[in-house]
Structure 1
Amino acid sequence: MNIDHATLSDVRAVAEIHVDAWRSAYSRILPADYLASLSVEKREAMWKNIIESGQTEILVAKDGGTVLGWVSFGACRDKDAPSSQAELWAMYVAPNSWFKGVGRQLWLRARELLSQQGYSTCSLWVFTENEQAIRFYKAIGFVAGTLPPQELECGGQQLQEVRYVCRIDT
């Protein structure tokens, strides 16, 4: 498995994984009609714009040219965050590659780059109902933060997200 920065030629695969992972991971969290309405083409356009603008770093994990997963990260977007705090903006692995170490390898490379960039901590937000992701984040060193959960609407449903934080300068 190789991990490198995403290029425009990776955008379609990033979008497909984004939609497929949402449909699998959130099938018990979000309404089925909302998940069915997700558009690979819209996600492809979104990720193309993000890569072109350099808004966030995106790494892809590939095996023989096939994208298995990706991670997006950069400066923390939270209002209370110090400049030394990064954020894991998103991480998704193709469902057929879950539990094979892809996410862990993506995180280790992202953590290495964030450390090189001078960040000392990294945060992320995760749906409180996403137990599988929370287990993964805890396994790679994240702990629940001190902020209360934040409310958001997604697919016509009220959800909560909780912030997790990890030290990266150890």
Structure 2
Amino acid sequence: MQVVHAVPEDARAVAEIHVDAWRSAYSRILPADYLASLSVEKREAMWKNIVESGQTELLVAKDGGAILGWVSFGACRDKDAPSSQAELWAIYVAPNSWFKGVGRQLWLRARELLSQQGYSTCSLWVFAENEPAIRFYKAIGFVADTLPPQELECGGRQLQEVRCVCRIDA
């Protein structure tokens, strides 16, 4: 498996993983009709634009020609964040590749690049109800922040997201 920067041609596979992972990971968190309404085509256009514009760094994990997962990261978008804090914007692995080390390899490469860019910490936001993801983040070094959860609406449901942080220069 190789972890490399995405190119515009990867947008379709990134979008497919994005939608499939949401439908699998959030099936107990978000309404089924909302998950069914997710559009691979819309996400493909979004990711192609992101790759072409460089809004965030996007890495893909490839095995042969197949993309198994991806990670998006960059400067932290939180208002209280110091310039030394990065953010893991999103990380998703194809459901048939869960628990095979793909997510860990994506994070290790992202962490390496963030460290090279001078960041000392990294944060992320995760649905408070997404216990499997929270366990994964904990396993790769993230801990819950003291910041109160933030409220958001998604798919007609009121949800909470919690922020987790990790040192990347340790």
State TM-score, norm by structure 1: 1.00
Aligned residue number for residue 89 of structure 2: 89
Runs of 4+ in 1 over 3 A off after TM superposition: none
1:1-170 → structure 2 map (5 Å cutoff): 1-170=1-170
Deviation at 1:66, TM superposition (A): 0.1
- Which stretches in structure 2 are left out of the alignment for 5+ residues? none
Partner of 2:89, secondary structure, is strand
Partner of 2:152, secondary structure, is strand
- Which stretches in structure 1 are left out of the alignment for 5+ residues? none
RMSD between superposed Cα atoms in Å: 0.3
Q: Deviations over 1:140-167 (max 9, x none)?
A: 0000001000000000000000000000
Identity of aligned residues (%): 89
Cα distance in 1, alignment partners of residues 100 and 137 from structure 2 = 15
What letter is aligned with 1:108?
L
Q: How many residues align?
A: 170
State TM-score, norm by structure 2: 1.00
Partner of 1:77, secondary structure, is coil
Partner of 2:77, secondary structure, is coil
